[in-house]
Amino acid sequence: MPPRRISDVNYMDVDSDSDVSIVDDDDFGGRNKKGKGKATDKKKKDKGKSKAKEQPYAWEASYTRSWDTVQEDEAGSLQTAVADLMARSRRRRLLAPSGAIRRTIIRHLILILDLSSSMLDRDMRPNRFDLTLEYAREFIVEWFDQNPLGQIGVVGMRSGLGERLGEMSGSPQDVLKSISERHKIEPAGEPSLQNAIEMARSSMSHLPTHSSRELLIIYGSLTTVDPGNIHETLASCIKDKIRVSIVSLAAEMKICREFSDKTGGQFGVAMNEGHYKDLLFELIPPPFLRSTTTTTSSSTKQTTSIPADLMLMGFPTRLPPTSAPALCVCHSALKSEGFLCPRCGAKVCDVPTDCDICGLMIVSSPHLARSYHHLFPVKGYIAVTTLQDSPPPSQNCHACARPFPPPITSTISEGMSPLSRYKCPDCNNDFCTECDVFVHEVVHCCPGCGK
């Protein structure tokens, strides 16, 4: 887009000039003679201008940043840098609470996307909008992988209105389809936080109490155009126990911070592309069950822990593709494949879902098992620093049976084992670096003790 590029260059010129003048005011304001100050001022101005021409976009600067973060070691290899990154995630795992935690595994999330004109800003590459769509797709796929019992709906904020882009659905394909047509969700106008939140709230009002109600707002603008008092919306979100998390692409806004603080969500301002993705992906694991509800000062709510609640679930019968075609209750379409509700025998297309006839929650048992690991996480392995003589240490990794590599002599960061051995605190078996990562991020079960 050549016209935009030119206008951006002009904009950058003005910007760099104003920066320089601020610096000059500080440097030469009182002490130096005016003439000298002016000469340097002009020189700096020219320098700023040429710099702006070389680098018209902020994102072009990030190309120089990317290789600053990965440093080669003395031998010119990148191995230590990679090991350091792995050690960082290991330290984070050890900080996380181990043992059984109560989490909401049946989740309902509404993704609210800012589709205002501020999303066309190019401070992220290629622009905020395209990057958001890309990350949203990755987020949805990963979210469903980790939360197979969850459902996602999509709402957009555009021209002062809230737009329902996708109904609440448990199928990743349906959710991805709602944001797949880029030309239909082209950014325009101003966003309205209140309209979008009210729209999301109304579509969550029917949900049962054992499921979580969450909003994730990706917000690029610094303003909101609201028809009423947004604090009333905040109060009703708190009342409905809706957790609002916000990822801002511009800067912190007081109302956004207030929404996430008071509803127990998370708030973050993305500093760059990588940080933006981190902020989003932090919201993928299911949230802790809030144990304290002592927000109201009156005597009504003073419970410290929510009592365990039994819930009804049905495991459906899967129909083979060769079965006789029948109408499904969800779309009234003639299909041979599908699932039968174990209570009323109605045919549904996809699980997990609530039966349209009897209201029973229908889940498949693999989905339930897959959500299980969030409740009982594998304990973090401890980095082994010295080898003890008794009992004699095993020569091979307990999981993959490969021999351990020779000890690393270069610099070791915290949480990293110089012997590349990581010990399970329960079964005391040693594992190699790769297996440690694989166990905690993919398998979610220790091969030594089965926990």
Please state the closest distance from residue 323 (CB atom) to Zn ion, in A.
15
Please state the closest distance from residue 399 (CB atom) to Zn ion, in A.
4
Please state the closest distance from residue 131 (CB atom) to Zn ion, in A.
35
Contact 116, 220 (CB under 8 A): yes
**Choice from 83, 269, 397, 416 touching Zn ion (CB under 5 A):** 397
Please state the closest distance from residue 425 (CB atom) to Zn ion, in A.
8
Helix/strand number for the chain, H first, E second: 12, 17
Task: Please identify, among the stretches 80-88, 168-176, 251-259, 443-451, the one whose residues bind Zn ion according to the rule CB under 5 A.
Answer: 443-451
> Residue 284 interacts with Zn ion (CB under 5 A)?
no
Contact 432, 424 (CB under 8 A): no
Cα distance from N-terminal residue to C-terminal residue, the chain: 56
Please give the single-letter amino acid code of residue 364: S
> Residue 331 interacts with Zn ion (CB under 5 A)?
yes
Task: Please identify, among the stretches 66-74, 292-300, 387-395, 432-440, the one whose residues bind Zn ion according to the rule CB under 5 A.
Answer: 432-440
- CA-to-CA distance for 235 and 98, rounded, in angstroms? 34
- CA-to-CA distance for 254 and 258, rounded, in angstroms? 6
> Residue 380 interacts with Zn ion (CB under 5 A)?
no
Nearer to Zn ion, 111 or 399 (CB): 399
**Choice from 9, 289, 313, 344 touching Zn ion (CB under 5 A):** 344
In sequence order, the 6+-apart residues with CB closer than 8 A to the CB of 121 are 127, 128, 220, 249, 250
> Residue 343 interacts with Zn ion (CB under 5 A)?
yes
> Residue 432 interacts with Zn ion (CB under 5 A)?
yes
Q: Write the CA distances from 353 to 169, 208, 348, 349, 364, integer angstroms.
A: 8, 13, 8, 9, 10
CA 158 to chain centre: 22
Closest CA to 343 of 325, 357, 329, 353: 357
In sequence order, the 6+-apart residues with CB closer than 8 A to the CB of 297 are none
Nearer to Zn ion, 23 or 94 (CB): 94
Nearer to Zn ion, 228 or 425 (CB): 425
Nearer to Zn ion, 63 or 372 (CB): 372
Site string for Zn ion, 347-366 (x = CB under 5 A): --x-----x-xx-x------
Judged by the rule CB under 5 A, the positions of this chain that interact with Zn ion are 328, 330-331, 341, 343-344, 346, 349, 355, 357-358, 360, 397, 399-400, 424, 426-427, 432, 435, 446, 448-449
